[in-house]
Structure 1
Amino acid sequence: MNTRKVIVMPLIAIGIFILEGVASLQFGHAFFGDQRFFIPHFLIVMLVMMTTFYNRNMTLIYAFILGIVFDIYYTDVLGIYFAIFPFIVYLTDKFMKVLQNNILLVGLVTVFNVMLTECLVYGFYVLIGGTDMAFTTFADQRLWTTILLNLAFFLVLFFPFRSFLLKLKKSDGM
């Protein structure tokens, strides 16, 4: 039995899920006050890295499970992240087939996916009437801070998590 795959990886996913909630409550207000919003998308960072350095099919399973749990726990609309997380894994897989998997390109793909997620969620809420925020206000108060802080999380996570995923991939014989 591969304990990294069966025990450690789900614990990492649960830890990042919890960290995402704690970070939004504790650090967003401390950094930006009431003028700017920080939306952590640490799960997207994790899913991008898993897709790049591990196994797409296993990452899709994590994306579906984490998406539905995220919807149940954090959102009022069920299904939005359940659809977005696997879509992000699919896009990342397609990007990484033509790009090298170095820190710069994986970071750019991560930033793109965070932006895409934020814009899709914003667009969905505008479509159903859940928000009346103008796009310029959204970009100024929410989008750029979200990108910067998720990029910082990516930079902190990149080397240790990449090393873990490559060891996991090697132990699986892939």
Structure 2
Amino acid sequence: MNMRKVVVMPLIAIAVFILEGVSSMLFSQSFFGEQRVFIPHFLIVMLVLMATFYNRNVTLIYAFILGIVFDIYYTGILGIYFAIFPLVVYLTDKFMKVLQSNIMLVGLVAVFNVILTECLVYGFYVLIGGTDMVFATFVDQRLWTTILLNLAFFLVIYFPFRNFLFKLERNGGR
């Protein structure tokens, strides 16, 4: 039994889950003030990297589990992230079958998935009446800052996490 697969990978997922919540509480106001909102999607970035450099089926399991836990812990509506996280893994898998797995293209796929996630969540909340923010305000106050900071997170973790996933695959971590 591979220790990295059984222990380290879930610990990394838990750490990223916690980091996402802590970073949104601690750093959003200090970086952008009251006008801008930073929504960390570190789990999306992690799932994009896993879908690119690891087994898709295992990544889908992580996506479903993290999605339902995310919905339970952070949102009041069950099912949004439970559906979005696996969608991100599926789309990433399809993109990476036709694209090269270099830092620029994987970064673009990660940014695309962050934008998709934000727009789907925004659209859902508009649909159910959970927000009255117009789309232009959403883009100006929430989307751009979210893209930039999630891209910064991607750039920080890309090489270490990619190397970890390569080692996991090489050691039979599927």
Do they fold alike, i.e. is TM over 0.5? yes
Q: Which whole-Å CA distance do the structure 2 matches of 1:119 and 1:104 have between them? A: 22
1:141 and 2:141 are equivalent in the alignment = yes
1:115-142 residue CA offsets vs partner (Å, 9 max, x unmatched): 0000000000000000000000000000
Pairwise CA RMSD of aligned residues? Answer: 0.8
Query: Map of 1:1-174 to 2, 5 A cutoff?
Result: 1-172=1-172
The amino acid across from 1:159 in the alignment is F
What is the rounded CA distance, in whole Å, between the counterparts of 1:125 and 1:34 in structure 2?
Answer: 21
Distance in 1 (CA, whole Å) between partners of 2:142 and 2:84 is 19
How many Å separate the matches in 2 of 1:78 and 1:94?
Answer: 26
Aligned residue for 1:154, secondary structure, equals helix
**Percent identical residues:** 80
Count of paired positions:
174
Shift of 1:173: 6.8
Partner of 2:76: helix, strand, or coil?
coil
CA distance in 2, matches of 1:144, 1:76: 25
1: CA distance between counterparts of 2:47 and 2:150? Answer: 13
Q: Which runs of 5+ in 2 are unaligned?
A: none
Superposition deviation, residue 25 in structure 1: 0.3
Which deviations, in whole Å up to 9, do the C-alpha atoms of 1:63-116 show, x marking residues without a partner?
000000000000011000000000000000000000000000000000000000
Report if aligned partners of 2:42, 2:150 keep a CA contact under 8 Å in 1.
Answer: yes
Q: Distance in 1 between matches of 2:104 and 2:22?
A: 27
Q: Specify the code of the residue in structure 1 equivalent to 2:11.
A: L
TM-score by length of 2: 0.99
Q: CA deviation at 1:172?
A: 1.1
What secondary structure sits across from 1:72 in the alignment?
helix
For 2:99 and 2:172, locate their aligned partners in 1 and report how far apart those are by CA, in whole Å.
Answer: 24
AA aligned to 1:137 is: T
- In 2, Cα distance between the equivalents of 1:35 and 1:128? 24
CA distance in 2, matches of 1:150, 1:113: 11
Paired letter, 1:152: A
The amino acid that maps onto 1:33 is G
Structure 1 stretches (4+) deviating beyond 3 angstroms?
none
Q: Which runs of 5+ in 1 are unaligned?
A: none
